[in-house]
Amino acid sequence: MMKIRPIRQGILSGIMVSLLLVAGCSSDESAGDSDEVTLVYARGVDTTEGNAKLIEAFEEEHPNINIKYREMPSDSGQQHDQYVTTLSGRSAEIDVFDADVVWPAEFAQAGYVMGLDRFIEEDNIDMGKYFEGTVDSVTFNGRTWAMPKFTDAGLLYYRSDIVDEPPETWDELSEMAGNLQGEAGTNFGYVMQANQYEGIVVNAIEFIHAYGGAVINDVGEVVVDSPEAIEGIRKMTEIAQSDYVPNNILNFTELETETAFIQGNTVFARNWPYMQASSANEEKSDVAGDVGFSLLPKGDEQSASTLGGWVTMINKYTEHPEAAWEFVKFMTGKEGQKISATVGGTAPTIKSLYDDEAVKEASPVFANEAFVETLQNAVPRPVTPNYPKITDIIQIEISKALAGDVSPEQAAQNLQREIESVVNE
What does DSSP say about strands 307-314 and 147-153: parallel, antiparallel, or unpaired?
A: antiparallel
- Boundaries of domain holding 284: 155-304+386-423
Q: Assess if residue 4 is contained within a domain.
A: no
Return d(Cα 139, Cα 123) in angstroms, integer. 18
Return d(Cα 60, Cα 55) in angstroms, integer. 9
**Phi, psi at residue 308, to the nearest 5°?**
-120, -160
This prediction's pTM: 0.74
Closest among 237, 244, 272, 239 to 258, alpha carbons compared: 272
Q: Residue 357: what residue type?
A: E
Write the CATH number for 108.
3.40.190.10
The H-assigned helical ranges of 195-273 are 198-210, 227-240, 254-262
- The number of distinct structural domains making up the chain is 2
Averaged pLDDT, 306-318: 95
DSSP β-bridge partners for residue 65: 37
Looking at per-residue pLDDT, the higher value among 339 and 137 belongs to 339
Q: Give yes or no: residues 235 and 184 share one domain.
A: yes
Angstrom distances, CA of residue 215 to CA of 84, 291, 303, 394: 26, 33, 16, 9
Q: Is the pLDDT of residue 28 over 60?
A: no
Q: Give yes or no: residues 170 and 277 share one domain.
A: yes
DSSP 347-390: EESBGGGGG-HHHHHH-TTTT-HHHHHHHHHPBPPP-STTHHHH
Q: Assess if residue 87 is contained within a domain.
A: yes
Q: Assess if residue 395 is contained within a domain.
A: yes
Q: Assess if residue 28 is contained within a domain.
A: no
Q: Is the pLDDT of residue 32 over 80?
A: no
pLDDT at 18: 42
Return d(Cα 102, Cα 253) in angstroms, integer. 18
Nearby residues of 143 by Cβ (< 8 Å), 6 or more positions away: 108, 115, 117
Averaged pLDDT, 22-39: 55
Q: Assess if residue 218 is contained within a domain.
A: yes
Q: Give yes or no: residues 221 and 281 share one domain.
A: yes
**Phi, psi at residue 348, to the nearest 5°?**
-65, 155
